[in-house]
């Protein structure tokens, strides 16, 4: 296995990467950003970093950090980080047990969106100020049921739309109902509609190439959505897929890689987006919790998976999409974190952003290769 110090050759062999983490933050199909100045390396965040988003040009990262590291008072901040200098600024601070989602960044980098409890917040990244707070429409549910958690969000390539996934309503001893995906008009600053899915749990919604369709897994199935308008609609379900989870469409639109729970192994599946059928592609690890699907390259020749993220031996693996076989020479490891909570591969094609615990706090690791 090659370590970071021996990775100079990889930059030449890989080219640029298009990454699900970056697509979630900026919208699929947006124009490539100009290369950023050299990254800062390891940046201390304090507390416990829970999730991460990165701007299109890679100069800023946005992390949700639990400052009390799981303490009873639950103070969380949305921390803006200059990846060139390591300077930080807090855009938001909440106390108690308020839920804060993974952020999403607009394609031009000027807006950051985040869900806090039952509202969608918009921040101006130039002024580092909140400029809008729009309540999410109440989730239809039976009497006595609680609304589901607002899980994650993604911005369209033109920055005009935001799509939000939400767990289904639930009640103690009464069970649960299906979740939904909502569409938000970022220009008008209003919600445009929603589509209800089967399955209580709803994973992160991911846009396909061009942002005209999307994929989202639930506790029951893997959904293919139409996102040409602000209000999403169901195109189809992947036949007999079962519970769905992480998804990585390739930019050429010919295939979609997805993680599911069909077996206990860490297997990645290949979905035909035209037929909405699937087959096993490759197995990364003996346990599905040990494999996290991250990325598809812009030339659609590679797909990337993070293995062993719960340990200090976390490793980025590359797979050839023509053969669905591993490419050992393109393995990346040695990140210097106790574990990896979230990883994002930058749109510039040679930068990996990771957050995770390090000693008594947590850090953002920025790796150029």
Residues in the chain: 369
* Model confidence band, residue 71 (pLDDT cutoffs 50, 70, 90): low
- Section 178-203 average pLDDT: 95
CATH number of the domain enclosing 194 = 2.130.10.10
pLDDT tens per residue across span 243-294: 888 999 999 999 999 987 777 778 899 999 999 999 999 999 888 778 887 7
- Nearest CA to 246 out of 263, 262, 222 is that of 222
Q: What span, in angstroms and rounded, lies between the C-alpha atoms of 22 and 345?
A: 7
Distance CA 183, CA 179 (A): 14
Residue 28 has pLDDT above 90, yes or no: no
Tokens of 207: 């846009």
pLDDT at 14 over 70: no
CB atoms within 10 A of CB 345: 27
Strands 233-237 and 213-217: unpaired
**110 vs 174: CA distance, rounded Å:** 43
Residue written as token pair 């009464």: 174
Cα–Cα distances in angstroms (integers) from residue 208 to residues 18, 111, 142, 227, 243, in the given order: 12, 21, 33, 9, 20
Predicted confidence (pLDDT) at residue 20 exceeds the cutoff of 70:
no
More confident residue, 206 or 239: 206
Q: Structure pTM?
A: 0.87
Number of domains forming the structure of the chain: 1
Q: CA–CA separation, 16 vs 58, rounded Å?
A: 13
**pLDDT recorded at residue 225:** 97
Q: What is the DSSP letter of 153?
A: E
pLDDT digits 0-9 by tens, 134-175? 999 999 999 999 999 999 999 999 999 999 999 999 999 899
Q: What is the pLDDT of residues 291-317, one digit of tens each?
A: 887 788 888 999 999 999 999 999 999
Domain holding 167, by residue range, is: 4-368
| Mean of per-residue pLDDT scores for the chain | 85
> What integer pLDDT is reported at residue 2 of this predicted model?
37
Average pLDDT over residues 352-364: 93
Over residues 349-358, the mean pLDDT reads 87
Please list, residue by residue across 173-200, b when 16 or more beta carbons sit within 10 angstroms of its beta carbon and e when fewer do.
Answer: eeebbbbbbbbbbbeeeebeebbebebb
């Amino acid at each position: 296995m090659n370590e970071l110090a021996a990775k100079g050759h990889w930059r030449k062999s890989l080219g640029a990467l298009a990454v699900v983490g970056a697509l979630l933050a900026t919208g699929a199909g947006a124009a490539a950003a100009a290369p950023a100045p050299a990254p800062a390396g390891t940046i201390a965040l304090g507390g416990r970093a829970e999730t991460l988003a990165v701007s299109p040009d890679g100069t800023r990262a946005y992390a949700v950090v639990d400052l009390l590291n799981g303490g009873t008072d639950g103070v969380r901040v949305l921390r803006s980080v200059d990846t060139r200098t390591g300077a930080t600024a807090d855009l938001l601070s909440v106390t108690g047990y308020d839920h804060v989602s993974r952020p999403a960044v607009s394609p031009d980098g000027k807006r950051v969106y985040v869900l806090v409890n039952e509202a969608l917040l918009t921040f101006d990244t130039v002024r580092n100020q909140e400029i809008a707070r729009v309540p999410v429409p109440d989730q239809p549910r039976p009497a006595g049921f609680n609304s589901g958690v607002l899980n994650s969000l993604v911005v369209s390539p033109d920055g005009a739309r935001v799509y939000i996934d939400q767990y289904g309503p639930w009640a103690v001893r009464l069970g649960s109902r299906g979740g939904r995906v909502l569409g938000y008009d970022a220009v008008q600053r209003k919600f445009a509609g929603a589509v209800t899915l089967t399955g209580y749990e709803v994973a992160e919604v991911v846009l396909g190439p061009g942002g005209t369709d999307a994929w989202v897994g639930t506790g029951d199935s893997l959904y293919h959505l139409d996102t040409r308008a602000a209000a999403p609609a169901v195109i189809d379900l992947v036949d007999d897929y079962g519970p769905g989870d992480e998804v990585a469409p390739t930019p050429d639109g010919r295939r979609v890689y997805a993680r599911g729970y069909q077996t206990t192994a860490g297997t990645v599946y290949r979905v035909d987006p035209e037929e909405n059928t699937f087959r096993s592609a490759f197995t990364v690890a003996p346990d599905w919790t040990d494999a996290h699907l991250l990325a598809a390259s812009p030339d659609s020749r590679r797909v990337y998976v993070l293995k062993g993220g719960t340990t200090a031996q976390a490793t980025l693996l590359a797979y050839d999409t023509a053969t669905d076989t591993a490419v050992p020479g393109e393995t990346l490891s040695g990140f210097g974190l106790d574990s990896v909570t979230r990883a994002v591969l930058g749109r510039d094609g040679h930068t990996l952003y990771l957050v995770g615990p390090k000693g008594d706090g947590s850090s953002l690791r920025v790796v150029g290769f």
